[in-house]
Amino acid sequence: MKAAEVRTQSADQMNDELAKLKKEQFNLRFQKATGQLEKTARVKEIRRDIARIKTIARQKAAESKA
């Protein structure tokens, strides 16, 4: 997910996407623990997407207060 895509989303859409990513991260952790994880790079992608969404949400919140 690109930062430009996230910036066009509303706060509700970002929260929905964040919840979806956290659920996927949870599932990937279980797959790793049981030895069923095939795409190990996906863990890193998910972690970065979560951080990207949180960062942009924080920036938007700061802009609205200023």
CATH of the domain at 18: 1.10.287
**pLDDT recorded at residue 66:** 75
**Number of domains observed in the structure of the chain:** 1
The predicted pLDDT at position 62 comes to 93
35: phi > 0 → left, psi -120 to 50 → alpha, else beta; which? left
Question: Considering just the CA atoms, what is the radius of gyration of the chain in Å?
Answer: 14
- Residues 8-59: tens digit of each pLDDT: 999 999 999 999 999 999 999 999 999 999 999 999 999 999 999 999 999 9
Q: Tell me what pLDDT residue 65 has.
A: 85
pTM of the full predicted structure? 0.91
Query: Residue 59: which domain range?
Result: 3-64
